[in-house]
Structure 1
Amino acid sequence: MDKRSRVDWRGYIPAMLTPFADDGALDPARLGSHLEWLAAEGMHGLVIGGTTGEWTSLSPAERRDLFRLVGDQMKGRLPLIAGCTSYTPGESIDLARHAKACGFDGILLTPPPYIRPSDSEIVDFYRMVSDANVLPICVYNWPPGTGIDMTPDLLGRLAALDGVVAIKQSTGRLDQFVKTFFALRDTVRVFGFSMDEHGLTLLHAHDGDGTMGAGGILGRDQPDFYNHLWRGDLDAARACGAKDRLILDQWYTPDLVGRFGSGPAALKAGFRLLGQPLGGVRLPLRDVDADGLAAIAETLRQAGKLSRPLERVA
């Protein structure tokens, strides 16, 4: 069996938000309700505690609590991928072991942030996690968060590690994504397809794997992009993808930095407008201001998710 076949990850897998209570604590009730909503909307899997899940604001104990709560509710129902990014391989391995005990199916892992390791140091980091043989690894290339845009050559070195089964290629460069996909698609699963004409063409012609998107804010429209594609209804897939592009184009810059603040802040504002409060973001992040909230509401209106007049939702 080739490595990519060790896992069944495909389609739209949102990097879900971490719900907080009004006092800022992890909120199990909101988490449970949000998980059920995501499952009912047909998500093809879930990434827990990733960038969108504000892992940087969670204590080690909270990260473990989050994995436990999600695993207790969702293990066996959807593929679960734990965000295990840390500064040292030992920390990532410990988190991966906890995620495995909670019923998770894999981990998502960037290079260590802040320290800007070299290519060889990045390979060493992933090799140590791979050699621990805890859970299948999805390598996450996230330049806005790490300051490193891993090249297709470096990603190829990582894809050769036995524990690596997938790559989430979140470079802002289409040429680098395409090179990564064609070089590695027979070895590992490649995620990061844009849900526009570029992505649709690649997916339809070459059977790509999917998108690990931010939050699942549009509900069923995002997994349905892939459901329609797999059924051969490209026009229906195109219509769903156009709504996703509204979010990317209006809420993020081309290099995937939020226009109204952080990505989690915009998404939490959006869910609040849709009647699903997930709390605010934690410092040093800020919740979006009134102007940002109005812009977010307008995007959701254009996507057909919000029908109330803007003056009433602000």
Structure 2
Amino acid sequence: MAIDWKGVMPAVTTKFTKDDTLDLKMFEININAQLKAGVHGIILGGTLGEASTLTDDEKRTLVKTTVDIVKDKVPVIINIAEQTTKGAIEAAKKAKEDGASGLMMLPPMRYKAGDRETVMYFKEVAKSTDLPIMVYNNPVDYKIEVSLDMFEELLVLDNIQAVKESTRDISNITRIKNRFGDRLKILSGVDTLALESLLMGADGWVAGLVDAFPEETVAIYELQKAGRIKEAIAIYRWFLPLLELDINPKLVQNIKLAEVATGIGTEYVRPPRLPLVGDERKKVLEIIETGLKTRPQLPKYKNIELVD
């Protein structure tokens, strides 16, 4: 399935049972809520998906299950976060076999690769597959930045097509557009900078709080796209305290609590992560409860026409 690299693409959480096995029933409930809201793709196995704790078999099960659920309505993308080039190539091969439409790729894990090594890593994986690739550029959390000069080298490969822009530097969107035009699609990877990024020319939003609030997230995207900026800003201002739960070391626990509150998830996480307790839990719940009490009434945001 072709990927346009635009719109809202949830970085979905992985659902677990209390016995620490995959909860595919609740996972399906959440995926269907995303589809009903009008998302444009599903991303599996990212930070929110607790990728570092998943076995290869579990990742493959998630891809196959999601492909079966979405039935070609939207593309299914799996994140690759490997320590070796060989491991990343094997992960890409499995993704293709399991029906994934594309890949999101982090630089090498653990080892802080230099620029030349990072470029070679992405190139070797890209040459090994025909799946389209979105580079996940998050130097804040993963300590390696993919610079514009590095993208210049990477873009000689046709299947490197997009970047999940998580540098936290809004002006980087303009730099990318000025240098590469539409050759490199841009998806904002930071919830608290998403609307600003879209207004500066980003093509989409890899979202986190969408896992609990899919309709509000898609509404913001569709309204700004249609030129109804004031309406998008109003929803975004309501959303911001919730979106800030995504820029926190406990983002997985935070967002899973929000999913519980909206009825489309559980709070089970895989150790060493543990559910929130005490004052930390109380504070997060207060933010969620306030958001629910003041939840805005959404306009009919699907299939809206561009404002002249």
TM-score (norm 1): 0.84
Q: What is residue 227 of structure 1 aligned with on the other side?
A: 222
Q: Distance in 2 between matches of 1:128 and 1:265?
A: 35
Letter in 2 for 1:135: L
Offset of residue 60 of structure 1: 1.2
Q: What is residue 240 of structure 2 aligned with on the other side?
A: 245
Residues 1:262 and 2:255 are matched in the alignment: no
What is the RMSD computed on CA atoms of the aligned residues? 2.4
Residue from 189, 203, 212 that aligns with 1:209? 203
Q: 1:188 to 1:177 in 2, by over 3 A?
A: closer
Q: Distance in 2 between matches of 1:91 and 1:195?
A: 30
SS in 1 for 2:266: coil
Q: 1:88 to 1:175 in 2, by over 3 A?
A: same
Residue from 257, 269, 272 that aligns with 1:284? 272
Residue from 91, 108, 111 that aligns with 1:112? 108
Stretch of structure 1 that moved more, 72-81 or 105-114:
72-81
Q: What is residue 306 of structure 2 aligned with on the other side?
A: none
1:135-170 CA distances to partner (integer Å, 9 max, x unpaired)? 100000122442223323223332333220100011
1:38-96 CA distances to partner (integer Å, 9 max, x unpaired)? 11122221111111101100011111111111112114011211112211223222222
Q: 1:61 to 1:304 in 2, by over 3 A?
A: same
Instruction: Note the 1:134-173 alignment, pairs <5 A.
Output: 134-173=130-169
Q: Distance in 1 between matches of 2:70 and 2:3?
A: 17
Offset of residue 266 of structure 1: 0.9
SS in 1 for 2:43: strand
- Preserved contact between residue 109 and residue 139 of structure 1 (Cα < 8 Å): yes
Offset of residue 133 of structure 1: 2.5
Residues 1:54 and 2:42 are matched in the alignment: no
Residue from 273, 289, 293 that aligns with 1:301? 289
Stretch of structure 1 that moved more, 211-220 or 88-97:
88-97
Q: Distance in 1 between matches of 2:102 and 2:282?
A: 37
SS in 1 for 2:183: coil
Q: Distance in 2 between matches of 1:40 and 1:73?
A: 12
Q: Distance in 2 between matches of 1:185 and 1:291?
A: 47
SS in 2 for 1:161: coil
Q: Distance in 2 between matches of 1:141 and 1:226?
A: 21
Q: Distance in 2 between matches of 1:139 and 1:124?
A: 13
Runs of at least 5 residues in structure 1 that lack an aligned partner in the other structure = 1-5, 308-314
Residues 1:99 and 2:98 are matched in the alignment: no
Instruction: Note the 1:67-82 alignment, pairs <5 A.
Output: 67-82=63-78
Q: Distance in 1 between matches of 2:189 and 2:106?
A: 18
Q: Distance in 2 between matches of 1:227 and 1:105?
A: 23
- Preserved contact between residue 142 and residue 169 of structure 1 (Cα < 8 Å): yes
- Preserved contact between residue 93 and residue 134 of structure 1 (Cα < 8 Å): no
Q: 1:212 to 1:182 in 2, by over 3 A?
A: farther
SS in 2 for 1:9: coil
- Preserved contact between residue 52 and residue 215 of structure 1 (Cα < 8 Å): no
Residues 1:186 and 2:182 are matched in the alignment: yes
Would you say how many aligned residue pairs link Structure 1 and Structure 2? 293
Q: Distance in 2 between matches of 1:173 and 1:240?
A: 23
Residue from 90, 101, 120 that aligns with 2:86? 90
Stretch of structure 1 that moved more, 154-163 or 115-124:
154-163
What percent of counterpart residues are identical? Answer: 25
1:248-285 CA distances to partner (integer Å, 9 max, x unpaired)? 33x25xxx4x1xx4211111111123333334211222
Q: Distance in 1 between matches of 2:294 and 2:14?
A: 23
Residue from 127, 133, 140 that aligns with 1:131? 127
TM-score (norm 2): 0.86
Q: What is residue 41 of structure 1 aligned with on the other side?
A: 37
- Preserved contact between residue 13 and residue 47 of structure 1 (Cα < 8 Å): yes
Q: Distance in 2 between matches of 1:305 and 1:136?
A: 41
Stretch of structure 1 that moved more, 222-231 or 168-177:
168-177
Q: Distance in 2 between matches of 1:37 and 1:200?
A: 22
- Preserved contact between residue 155 and residue 180 of structure 1 (Cα < 8 Å): no
